[in-house]
């Protein structure tokens, strides 16, 4: 573990983040997990999938 991480953890132990900040972080994490679950179970829409353009060789 890096020394910088130990200093940051000691600062957080002395001055913990506010309750609203903790709720915000958990809300963002839950939103990300919800998007992953939707993509996993429902699937990715075909309209948002990129299709590779085949390269055409020009013969001379």
Averaged pLDDT for residues 11-39: 93
Domain assignment present for 33: yes
Domain assignment present for 49: no
Domain count, the chain: 1
Report CA torsion sign: 19, 22, 28, 34: negative
Domain assignment present for 6: no
Report CA torsion sign: 22, 24, 27, 29: negative
Rounded to two decimals, the pTM is 0.58
> E strand or H helix at 35, and its extent?
helix 19-41
- The phi, psi pair for 45, rounded to 5°, reads -65, 145
Over 70: is that where the pLDDT of 6 sits?
yes
Q: How confident is the model at residue 60 (pLDDT cuts 50, 70, 90)?
A: low
Domain assignment present for 23: yes
pLDDT of residue 57: 73
pLDDT digits (tens, 9 = 90+) for 26-58: 999 999 999 999 888 888 777 777 877 777 777
Domain assignment present for 38: yes
Domain assignment present for 60: no
């Amino acid at each position: 573990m890096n020394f910088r991480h130990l200093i940051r953890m000691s600062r957080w132990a002395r001055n913990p983040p506010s309750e609203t900040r903790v709720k915000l972080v958990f809300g963002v994490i839950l939103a990300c997990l919800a998007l992953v679950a939707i993509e996993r179970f429902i699937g990715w829409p075909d309209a948002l999938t990129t299709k590779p353009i085949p390269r055409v060789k020009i013969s001379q």
